[in-house]
Each structure stands twice: as structure tokens, then as C-alpha cells.
Structure 1
Amino acid sequence: MSHSISRGALWLEKLAPNATRLAGLCPSVQAADGELNGEAVRFITVVPDAHNHYPRAAQGEVGLLEGWTLAKVVSETIALDADSAVKRPIVAIIDVPSQAYGRREEAFGIHQALAGAAAAYANARLAGHPVIGLIVGKAMSGAFLAHGYQANRLIAFNDKGVLIHAMGKESAARITLRTVEALEKLAATIPPMAYDIDNYATLGLLANLLDISNPDAPTDNDLAQVHSTLQQAIHDARQDRTLKNRLGADNRHSSLLVRERMKASW
């Protein structure tokens, strides 16, 4: 990457230029109130913090502090808009390499912290907040589940720096008793095993895949495309609070079939 800051931090600044960051948060979670098409929008991202109290979360991973802070920001947004007829959109800017792996994280309940964040995003969506996930970099493992996966709509950049998976390659290779090279060959034939955004798009989880000229140095045209796509996603999210839009792709046929049979049996 040609920039000294993460893509998450870069795109927060691009989408909410000069906006004051919300106070009282841990340094690795940044949030700002901006606007799109004249409408107030809350933008949230996770960024690296070299001085993180938990070293395993120093490179932008989502750990204890990040999970609880995300839950705090989103839950406070819900509370602030509780009496508003029109709920403000929440845009999760996503560039997270992993959840934070460590003995302290496990001992102190990282599963609860990340579940709290995921639940807050789900509560926001169900309360009527259009929740949009903008994937500008990595969206890996539990970090993605906690930050963005509960969005009404997911938008990703069509870029080799955008990777989405449940597990890093090295870890997946160990778990499956394969080399990384063998894992990559397997992924080439099984889309859910792949890491690249092209294969992920075939799973039907993305609402949009955007061709951005340079995600690390976006042009005015790039910004205009992202703005218009976010506005359309917000409009669409207000029409449907469910995640049914993710089940239309050919590679989700089995998921749809399972749901139909479960519904019939109940």
C-alpha cells in the first residue's frame, strides 16, 4: 500500500472529510458523522493501533477493546435515534485482517466482545437503520462477523487487496493438513474456499462490486461512484430489513433450499 494509513482510515476521511471523530473511543475504533446527499450518516471503521493495550490487536485486528467499542458506538446510535421516524444510516468501512488471537483475549471473553458488536449491528438493522458494509480491504474471520457482516447491503471494491474469508491462508492450510499452495489450487475449483473478491461475488453476498481506479488514492470519479452506490444501498435497505437479498446467486442455491425445507418442516 502506498499510504502510511490503513484503507479504513483513508476511506473514513474521504467519506467524512474533516469530520470530528467521536470522543471517548479506543484509538483503534474511529467513528465520524458525515452526510450523503444531505442526509446525516454515521461512519465507523477499525484501524491499526501500534500502542494497543492488547498487542494481538495492534495491526487492525478486532479484539476485546474493538468489539466492545463497536457495540458501544452502534448501540448509542440506536439510542440517539430511538424517537426519530427516520433512522440515520450507519456505514461500516471494513478493512480488518483478523480477530485478535491470544490467550488473554480468549480468557477475557473475546467471543462475547465480538458477539456484542455483531448483535449491535443486527439490532440497528432491525430497528430501521440502513446498515451498509463497505469493504475496502480485508474482511477476515471473526473480525468481519463483528464489523460489517450484519449489514443490510455489502459493497466491495474489485481489487486484489480486497480479501474475504473465514480464516487466513496459513491457518486454513494447517487446519486442512495442506500446504498453502495446495489450498490455493483447491480454492480455484471451490468458490467458498477462495479468498479473492471475484469468487466471493459468486456467493451472492455482495450488493455491488465496484471498479475503483486506485483504492489507496481515489479520484473524484471514484468518490462519486462510491457516494452514489452508498446512496442507492441506503435506499434499498430502507425497503427491506432482512438479509434475503443474499440468497439469489447460483452458488447459494443449497442455502435457499435448506431454508425452504426448514420452513416447510416447521
Structure 2
Amino acid sequence: MNMDVQLNKASVRGKQWFSALTQGFQQQESAVQSVLIADGVLNQQPIRVIAVVPDAHNLFPRARSGEVGLLEGWSLAKAVDEAIQADQDTAEKRIILAIVDVPSQAYGRREELFGIHQALAGAVDSYARARLAKHPVISLLVGKSMSGAFLAHGYQANRIFALNDSGVMVHAMGKESAARVTLRTVEELEQLASSIPPMAYDIQSYSTLGLLTECLAVENPEQPETADIERIQQVIAAAAADIRLQNSTSLEQRLHGENRQMSKRVRELMREQW
């Protein structure tokens, strides 16, 4: 596929929100153009902001539209590890904000051959270690948050926020792929999803699963306006303060969703019996 055509299909939401939320921040060098990193201060709290964005000249063609591939996985891990190491002797660890707009992990023969599973696992491990080291880790879903890409970039956060917009979707795979796997048409899959929340793509259905902290209404999800930026900044600062107050590094709050009660009950029974 022509690189310009492919890039035109790619979402720029992540890049727009990264730019909006890091005005006046110190932009950091990254090993790849597809991973953006910036350090700054938010409400007197140090913060590192990280985003994965499209790069038409990515060395791996499968990762040119914002997918999280080999280089992105290791670069995310490095960006988070640097923050952990820099703050290891400080009492107040910096906030780590993951801006999420990722259509998928990078599917490709070379990716599989060179161990994309290890690259993405490295990113997961770094985010988890940051949370366990008491960094307030926060995710902001501004576009697609799909498959292994979301698991590697954003899923390990203490708090996950999402824009309340139809352009924000969360799922294990794209609709076409899910339809093929389930031997259904896309239309049949959408009809089924209307009654089974875990199969749905919309952010409202996802919020019932207990993983989402809050859906946030903004005026312009594509190109954030001043009021949108201020609103998100307030939410992030308040969430970081609450994480520090709770002094918890676990993700147990995710079991409180309306569609997670059976998961919660299974865990209770396992604890009783084991």
C-alpha cells in the first residue's frame, strides 16, 4: 500500500491530544518517531506523557498507522523505565500519562519472527512496575484502544479515562477480524454485541466491565479546545492525587463494574477454598 494512502487512513487523535496536553513541556528524544515522550509539571506535580502515533516511514510497514510493533514496544518500555529509574530516590513519583489511540499491535511475519510478544510484554512489565513503584499511572483513551496494543500501552494504569465519543473503541480485535473468527458477518456481530457487552466496541459498553474510571465529555474530541484541555488536566491531576491518597498499587477496583460481579464472586470462592 502507498505510504501516503496508508497514513491518510491513520488516526491523528493521539498526536493531537499529546500536543495539546504537553504545551510548554520538554520534548524528549525517542528511538523511534512513532513514540512521543514529554516531561513537564501538572498542578505542581511532575508528569511524563507518552503516546504512540502514526509514522509513514516506520522501518516496519505493519506499524505505520499507529500500531504498536517491535520498536514501539521496546521504546515504550524504555520511556517508562527511565522515569522509574530517575525517580527511584524521590518520595513523590512522577505521574505517567499514557495517551491511547492505537488500532492494533503490528501483525506481520517479521514481527512474529523477531518476537513482538517479547517487545509488548516488555512494555506491559514496565508500566506494571511503574504502578507498583507508586507512580500514578493514568491512561487517557482518545481513539481506538485495540488488542495487544492497548494491553502494552495503557491497560496497566491505576486509572483509565476515556473520551465519551463514538470514535473511542475498545476490543480484542477489529470488527472484520472478529467476524471471521466467529464465522459471522459484521452486521451479525454488531447485533450480538448489542446484548453482550464484552463483545461490543463502544465505550459505554466497555464502561460496564469495571475497567474504566470515567467517560469524559469534551467539546472537540478530534482537535481539543482550550476548555477540553483544562478539563482533562483537572481530571488527571485529581486522579493522581486520589491514587496517592489511596496508596494502593493494585487494580482491585476493576472488579466493581456492573458486569464483573461473577468475576468477583469466583475470586471470593477461590480464596475460601484455597
Q: Which TM-score tier does this pair reach, normalised by the shorter chain?
A: over 0.9
- The answer to whether 1:8 aligns with 2:27 is no
Q: How many residues align?
A: 265
Q: By how many angstroms is 1:69 displaced?
A: 0.4
User: SS in structure 2 opposite 1:250?
Assistant: coil
Of 215-224 and 108-117, more deviation after overlay is shown by: 215-224
Q: Which residue of structure 2 aligns with residue 72 of structure 1?
A: 78
Q: Which residue of structure 2 aligns with residue 163 of structure 1?
A: 169
User: Could you tell me which amino acid in structure 1 is paired with residue 21 of structure 2?
Assistant: L
Q: CA–CA distance in 1 between the matches of 2:221 and 2:37?
A: 20
Q: Which residue of structure 2 aligns with residue 253 of structure 1?
A: 261
1:18/1:36 Cα in 2 relative to 1: closer, same or farther (>3 Å)? closer
Q: Which residue of structure 1 aligns with residue 3 of structure 2?
A: none
Q: Which residue of structure 1 aligns with residue 144 of structure 2?
A: 138
Q: Which residue of structure 1 aligns with residue 242 of structure 2?
A: 236
Structure 1 vs Structure 2 CA RMSD: 1.5
Q: Which residue of structure 2 aligns with residue 185 of structure 1?
A: 191
Q: CA–CA distance in 1 between the matches of 2:31 and 2:38?
A: 11
Contact 1:16–1:35, Cα closer than 8 Å, also in 2 = no
Q: By how many angstroms is 1:25 displaced?
A: 2.1
Alpha-carbon displacement from aligned partner over 1:49-70 (angstroms, at most 9, x marks no partner): 0000000000000000000000
User: SS in structure 1 opposite 2:110?
Assistant: helix
Q: Which residue of structure 2 aligns with residue 40 of structure 1?
A: 46
User: Could you tell me which amino acid in structure 1 is paired with residue 48 of structure 2?
Assistant: R
Contact 1:15–1:34, Cα closer than 8 Å, also in 2 = no
Contact 1:20–1:33, Cα closer than 8 Å, also in 2 = yes
TM (norm. structure 1) is 0.96
Q: By how many angstroms is 1:218 displaced?
A: 2.0
From 253, 265, 271, the counterpart of 1:263: 271
Q: CA–CA distance in 1 between the matches of 2:27 and 2:112?
A: 30
Q: By how many angstroms is 1:130 displaced?
A: 0.3
Q: Which residue of structure 2 aligns with residue 122 of structure 1?
A: 128
User: Could you tell me which amino acid in structure 1 is paired with residue 61 of structure 2?
Assistant: P
User: Could you tell me which amino acid in structure 1 is paired with residue 145 of structure 2?
Assistant: A
Q: By how many angstroms is 1:5 displaced?
A: 7.0
Q: Which residue of structure 2 aligns with residue 220 of structure 1?
A: 226
From 211, 216, 223, the counterpart of 1:210: 216
State the percentage of identical aligned residues.
59
Contact 2:30–2:36, Cα closer than 8 Å, also in 1 = no
User: SS in structure 2 opposite 1:227?
Assistant: helix
Contact 1:8–1:94, Cα closer than 8 Å, also in 2 = yes
Q: CA–CA distance in 2 between the matches of 1:38 and 1:5?
A: 32
Q: Which residue of structure 1 aligns with residue 98 of structure 2?
A: 92
Q: Which residue of structure 2 aligns with residue 58 of structure 1?
A: 64
- The answer to whether 1:110 aligns with 2:101 is no
Q: By how many angstroms is 1:205 displaced?
A: 1.0
Q: Which residue of structure 2 aligns with residue 174 of structure 1?
A: 180
User: Could you tell me which amino acid in structure 2 is paired with residue 261 of structure 1?
Assistant: L
Q: CA–CA distance in 2 between the matches of 1:11 and 1:219?
A: 10
Q: Which residue of structure 1 aligns with residue 155 of structure 2?
A: 149
Q: By how many angstroms is 1:20 displaced?
A: 3.4
Alpha-carbon displacement from aligned partner over 1:61-119 (angstroms, at most 9, x marks no partner): 00000000000110111011111111111000000000000000001000000000001
Q: CA–CA distance in 2 between the matches of 1:73 and 1:262?
A: 37
Contact 2:100–2:140, Cα closer than 8 Å, also in 1 = yes
In structure 1, runs of 5+ residues without a counterpart are none
Q: CA–CA distance in 1 between the matches of 2:202 and 2:223?
A: 21
Alpha-carbon displacement from aligned partner over 1:98-156 (angstroms, at most 9, x marks no partner): 00000000010000000000010000000010000000111000000000000000000
User: Could you tell me which amino acid in structure 2 is paired with residue 243 of structure 1?
Assistant: L
